[in-house]
């Protein structure tokens, strides 16, 4: 059992949880994920690690309430327990293999959309702590949906914000800011890391490809089982079939078939939406029967 020691509302239907999981925290690295089960016989939900504290033995996850299983996770409160927090799983970010002197010479740009801000945070913090140059672009539909902005701002060189409605920062897309930084602001980057909605990552990759900038994308939203056994997270990378949870979750964004990945993801969303509707209708019927 894994005790919840902190719960924070980051945005509508988006929650941060800090969970006691000493072994996971001790082994965790940026880019990896955990499997969370809210209760016995519950669904296994893969969630990218948003932070970890080896001294306190805690792991931080950020969960967006999208369906039945994520709703169960999000309904938990401080003092409650999750049945499972298993990990760390997946491959850590590839820059962890670089020595400190090499990292100090590298210029990184992170482009995150929505809840993608959560998994970039430990990566940004790690690189900034090693002396690398780190810029970040955060994107969301509006100010209310921007998460972890202040935390990321403290662990990077420059933070840029883009919102669809212009309520904060640039009004428009993260790719608008990306193009501006390179073409008008004279920024030079060695590496770009993008995490967020699949369509956003697709266009970030198309943008960086024309500039010849190495780009990594995290496909964590494709994962279902988290072990590769279900095969649901299959993705084509350079024409070769990969499994996101065991071969990734990070891949060369210029080689990812994003159109195929988006088709697969939309199929999952439709199925999860049906489950949520069925659950809500069942609960509604139970309440009617109870108070009739």
Task: Report if residue 275 sits inside a domain.
Answer: no
The answer as to whether 50 is a domain residue is: yes
Q: What is the CATH number of the domain that holds 137?
A: 3.40.50.80
pLDDT at 288: 37
**CATH number of the CATH domain containing 24:** 2.40.30.10
Please check whether residues 22 and 70 belong to one and the same domain.
Answer: yes
Task: Please check whether residues 104 and 207 belong to one and the same domain.
Answer: yes
E strand or H helix at 35: strand 33-37
pLDDT at position 168: 92
Q: How far apart are CA 56 and CA 45, in angstroms?
A: 24
Using a 10 angstrom Cβ sphere, with 0-12 exposed, 13-18 middle and 19 or more buried, the burial of residue 274 is exposed
My answer on whether 84 and 107 are in the same domain is no
Last residue of a domain, one of 62, 89, 116: 89
Q: Give residue 267's pLDDT.
A: 67
In a domain, 250, yes or no: no
- Which DSSP category does 106 fall into? -
Q: How many CB atoms lie within 10 A of CB 281?
A: 10
What is the tens place of the pLDDT at every residue in 210-259?
A: 999 999 999 888 877 666 666 677 888 999 988 888 887 899 999 999 88
Alpha-carbon gap, residue 58 to 42, rounded angstroms: 22
- Is there a single domain that holds both residue 48 and residue 116? no
Domain ends where: 74, 89, 104? 89
Count of structural domains, the chain: 2
Which residue in this structure is represented by tokens 């089982």? 225
The rounded distance, in Å, linking the Cα atoms of 174 and 179 is 9
Question: Is 162 within 8 Å of 173 (Cβ atoms)?
Answer: yes
Same domain, 177 and 160: yes
Question: For residue 140, what are its two tokens?
Answer: 């969301």
Q: What is the 3-state secondary structure (H, E, C) of 120-164?
A: HHHHHHHHHHCCCEEEEEEEECCHHHCCCHHHHHCCCCEEEEEEC
Shared domain check, 205 and 104: yes
Same domain, 64 and 111: no
Q: Are residues 98 and 214 in the same domain?
A: yes
Query: Could you tell me if residue 261 is inside a domain?
Result: no
| 51/150 same-domain check | no
- Examine residue 260 and state whether it is found in any structural domain, yes or no: no
In a domain, 123, yes or no: yes
Q: What is the mean pLDDT of each run of 10 residues along the chain (292 residues)?
A: 94 94 94 89 86 94 87 91 90 90 93 93 94 94 93 95 93 94 90 93 94 92 71 84 85 91 72 46 41 31
Residues spanned by the domain of 98 = 94-218
| 149 lies in some domain | yes
Pair 98, 188 in one domain: yes
User: 34 near 49, Cβ under 8 Å?
Assistant: yes
Residue 113 sits in the same domain as residue 135: yes
DSSP string for residues in 248-280: -SEEETTTB-HHHHHHHHHHHHHHHHHHHHHHH
| 108 and 66 share one domain | no
pTM of the full structure: 0.85
Residue 252 placed within a domain: no
Give the residue from 218, 250, 285 where a domain finishes. Answer: 218
Contact 33, 21 (CB under 8 A): no
């Amino acid at each position: 059992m894994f005790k919840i020691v902190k719960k924070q509302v980051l945005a509508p239907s988006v929650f941060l949880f800090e969970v006691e999981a000493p072994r996971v925290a001790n082994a965790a690295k940026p880019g990896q994920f955990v499997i969370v089960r809210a209760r016995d016989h519950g669904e296994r939900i893969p969630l990218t690690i948003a932070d970890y504290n080896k001294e306190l033995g805690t792991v931080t996850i950020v969960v967006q309430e999208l369906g039945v299983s994520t709703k169960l996770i999000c309904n938990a409160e401080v003092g409650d327990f999750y049945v499972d927090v298993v990990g760390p799983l997946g491959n850590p970010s590839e820059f962890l293999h670089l020595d400190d002197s090499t990292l100090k010479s590298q210029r990184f740009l992170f482009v995150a959309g929505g809840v993608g801000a959560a998994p970039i945070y430990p990566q940004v913090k790690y690189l900034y702590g090693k002396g690398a140059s780190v810029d970040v672009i955060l994107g969301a539909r509006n100010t209310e949906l921007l998460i972890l902005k202040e935390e990321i701002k403290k662990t990077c060189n420059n933070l840029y914000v883009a919102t669809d409605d212009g309520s904060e920062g640039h009004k428009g897309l993260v790719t608008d800011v990306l193009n501006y930084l390179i073409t008008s602001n004279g920024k030079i980057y060695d590496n770009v890391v993008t995490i967020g909605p699949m369509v956003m990552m697709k266009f970030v990759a198309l943008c960086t490809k024309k500039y010849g900038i190495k780009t990594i994308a995290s496909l964590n939203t494709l994962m279902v089982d988290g072990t590769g056994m279900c095969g649901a997270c299959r993705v084509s990378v350079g024409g070769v079939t990969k499994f996101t949870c065991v071969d990734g979750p990070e891949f060369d964004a210029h080689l990812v078939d994003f159109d195929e990945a988006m088709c697969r993801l939309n199929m999952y969303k439709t199925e999860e939406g049906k489950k949520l509707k069925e659950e809500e209708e069942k609960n509604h019927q139970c309440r009617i029967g109870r108070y009739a």
